[in-house]
Amino acid sequence: MSAFSATKLRSPSLASPRSPSSKPSFPSSSLRFPLRAVSSDVLTSSAASLAASHPVISRDEGLDLYEDMVLGRSFEDMCAQMYYRGKMFGFVHLYNGQEAVSTGFIRLLEKKDSVISTYRDHVHALSKGVPARQVMAELFGKTGGCCRGQGGSMHMFSAEHGVLGGFAFIGEGIPIATGAAFSSRYRREVLKEQTHDDVTIAFFGDGTCNNGQFFECLNMAALWKLPIIFVVENNLWAIGMSHLRATSDPEIWKKGPAFGIPGVHVDGMDVLKVREVAKEAIARARSGEGPTLVECETYRFRGHSLADPDELRKPDEKAHYAARDPITAFKKYIFEHNLATESELKAIDKKIDDVVEEAVEFADKSPLPPRTQLLENVFADPKGFGIGPDGTYRCEDPGFTQGTAQV
């Protein structure tokens, strides 16, 4: 049975009660369905996946998945250190705990395919092949960054690697992804450029699914059968708002079928399960069968951003997901299936430590951008900044690009 049919056919009847920690403050009688945490079903399928007697991947594939997840984790741990040392500015949102989603999907993509992310975007960029040194330098605001330091943490972009941006406004990336998928189909079918079978993946969070752009884009993607995959990283929280309190029907995957799109729910802490679903969704998109909505149940191991003391989530909930760390679980799978030895994995860990160290050194040495770069790509007419006391446009002041204080 395909991953889709197995998941789609799961009964929507909502039986077991929610965990006490996630109880809503409104009376349950006002709900259409009794709510429940989805993790109980997920845990069953995860255990089944990891206990499978034959590996579903080759040794090389397994090592690639492991290396990519370790890169994501180590890179982000280093980001935290650098942020607290004052090397980064503004908000920095880390992805610790969610690595199986990025790795499970993106490592199956080709270079020509595109990825769109949110402000939690560093790891998607890394999985898609943007060199760690370019991501770190971008975080440091330096010219060696993938956007020459102009984007920063929340705006990773690399045309070369098909990373079409991290977006700080939630939901903003979804229409961009839909447009990219539209352009693929248009080029192939209208302009007859047969090689354009590229696929776009939009990653976004559970909280974002309450935003109108999500629904508008599901509609357009279904209408035009676009080669796109909507991947919801349901980490159960939108800053301090529990998903179960904020959404009328918390099973996001069910919103796909409402638009005629397959909806799939998968354990986002199990890289092999994610990969299984991703394979089918990517194949569907590439062969012209249209979009898929995938809800990955996952968890962030840190606060919403590095400025968040993370006091709202209950310790037992955090412990529950910490025990399901996707890297630890996959390591166990690798050993159980004799895909690699402990020393081989240690060698990968060491290689990644070196890559991350080198990324920091590179970012540190990379020069700051010139101040004149501030107004590059600003489409507003600089005359809109007004007229100064001497009667000339402020933008004609020689100090204009020296910083906003001059304006």
Ligand X SMILES: Cc1ncc(C[n+]2csc(CCOP(=O)(O)OP(=O)(O)O)c2C)c(N)n1
Please give the residue ranges that form the binding site for ligand X (CB under 6 A): 120, 168-171, 204-208, 233, 235, 237-239, 304
Q: What angle do CA 14, 18, 21 make, to 5 degrees?
A: 165
> Nearest approach, Cβ of 144 to ligand X (angstroms)?
27
CB-CB neighbours of 17 under 10 Å: 13
> Nearest approach, Cβ of 149 to ligand X (angstroms)?
22
The residue among 239 and 347 lying less far from ligand X, judged by its C-beta, is 239
> Nearest approach, Cβ of 156 to ligand X (angstroms)?
15
DSSP notation for 98-167: -HHHHHHHHTTS-TTSEEEE-SS-HHHHHHTT--HHHHHHHHTT-TTSTTTTSS-TT---BTTTTEEEE-
Tokens of 200: 């776009």
Pick what 263 binds: Mg ion, ligand X, none; C-beta below 5 to 8 Å, kind-dependent: none
The residue among 308 and 364 lying less far from ligand X, judged by its C-beta, is 308
Is the distance from CB of 292 to CB of 118 less than 8 angstroms? no
- Nearest to Mg ion by Cβ — which residue? 205
- Nearest to ligand X by Cβ — which residue? 205
Residue 106: name the closest of 221, 278, 270 by CA: 278
CA 72, CA 333: separation in Å to the nearest integer? 19
The residue among 66 and 321 lying less far from Mg ion, judged by its C-beta, is 321
> Nearest approach, Cβ of 204 to ligand X (angstroms)?
6
The residue among 173 and 291 lying less far from ligand X, judged by its C-beta, is 173
β partners of residue 327: none
Residues 6+ positions from 240 with CB-CB distance below 8 Å: 304, 312
> Nearest approach, Cβ of 273 to Mg ion (angstroms)?
19
CA 1, CA 404: separation in Å to the nearest integer? 60
Pick what 208 binds: ligand X, Mg ion, none; C-beta below 5 to 8 Å, kind-dependent: ligand X
Q: Which uninterrupted H or E stretch holds 233?
A: strand 228-234
The residue among 84 and 169 lying less far from ligand X, judged by its C-beta, is 169
The residue among 154 and 359 lying less far from ligand X, judged by its C-beta, is 154
The residue among 197 and 206 lying less far from ligand X, judged by its C-beta, is 206
Pick what 239 binds: ligand X, Mg ion, none; C-beta below 5 to 8 Å, kind-dependent: ligand X
Residues in contact with Mg ion by CB under 5 A are 205-207, 235, 238
Is the distance from CB of 386 to CB of 396 less than 8 angstroms? no
Pick what 324 binds: ligand X, Mg ion, none; C-beta below 5 to 8 Å, kind-dependent: none
Beta strand 114-117 with 200-205 is parallel
Pick what 107 binds: ligand X, Mg ion, none; C-beta below 5 to 8 Å, kind-dependent: none
> Nearest approach, Cβ of 322 to ligand X (angstroms)?
17
Pick what 89 binds: Mg ion, ligand X, none; C-beta below 5 to 8 Å, kind-dependent: none
